[in-house]
Amino acid sequence: MPTSRSSTRSRDRGASRPTRADARQNVDALLEAAKAVFAEAGVNAPVRSVAERAGVGVGTLYRHFPLRSDLISAVFRREMDACADAATEIEAAFPPGEALDRWIMRFTQFVATKRGLAAALHSGDPAYEPLAEYFSTRLAPTLERLLVAATRADAITQDVEATELLGAVANLCHGGGPDPRSAEHAERMVRLLLAGLRAPQLT
């Protein structure tokens, strides 16, 4: 009987003990530090600097985030969720075609703001696999919904995969640093892509 322990309190589900308080605190500190560091120096910032800023050793960091990419995922997960959630609001407020555009632009701004996120995402480095996967898992279905709606409403003429489009938009957000011009550039190119979705025929 693996689940039986001497004291059968209210909950003794699965794990034998609850997470220790200091561990939880450290995780929080790390996430906050990572968020700050990534914002300042991009996702390529040294792991050590994150640990230092959080006031813990690298060992502690790696205990909670075995891979560098795990830390990155954790930091952006929340924002990705927010982005995905924004879709329902937008869908309710605008007709399918415009909803699609608006959500894509929302997504564009998210990716363009995170220095190096896009680069990491499609770097080919297998370390970022989980990040990319969460990307697809959480965001692709949302876009798919928007695309289907737009297609039904005859708002777009081209047939594209959600994943594909998502990747393309993310890719267009590369380059440049905090320079606002690069953000504009990305936006303009994304709009061009969106315009392409309305093109009468593809070559």
Q: Quick check: 174 binds DNA (CB under 7 A)?
A: no
Evaluate whether 139 touches 107 at the Cβ level (below 8 Å). Answer: yes
Task: Please give the single-letter amino acid code of residue 41.
Answer: A
With respect to DNA, which residue has the nearer C-beta, 8 or 203? Answer: 8
Q: Quick check: 109 binds its own copies (CB under 8 A)?
A: no
With respect to its own copies, which residue has the nearer C-beta, 50 or 197? Answer: 197
Question: Which two three-digit tokens encode residue 13?
Answer: 């589900």
Dihedral-angle region of residue 58 (phi above 0 means left; psi in -120 to 50 means alpha; beta otherwise)? alpha
Evaluate whether 55 touches 96 at the Cβ level (below 8 Å). Answer: no
The nearest distance, CB 3 to its own copies, in angstroms, is 44
The nearest distance, CB 39 to its own copies, in angstroms, is 14
Determine which residue in the list 49, 122, 134, 138 makes contact with its own copies, applying CB under 8 A. Answer: 122
- Which of DNA, its own copies, none sits in contact with 148, Cβ below 5 to 8 A by type? none
Task: State which of positions 38-67 bind DNA (CB under 7 A).
Answer: 44-48, 55-60, 62-64, 66-67
- Which of its own copies, DNA, none sits in contact with 134, Cβ below 5 to 8 A by type? none
Q: Quote the CA–CA distance of 60 and 79 in Å, as a whole number.
A: 24
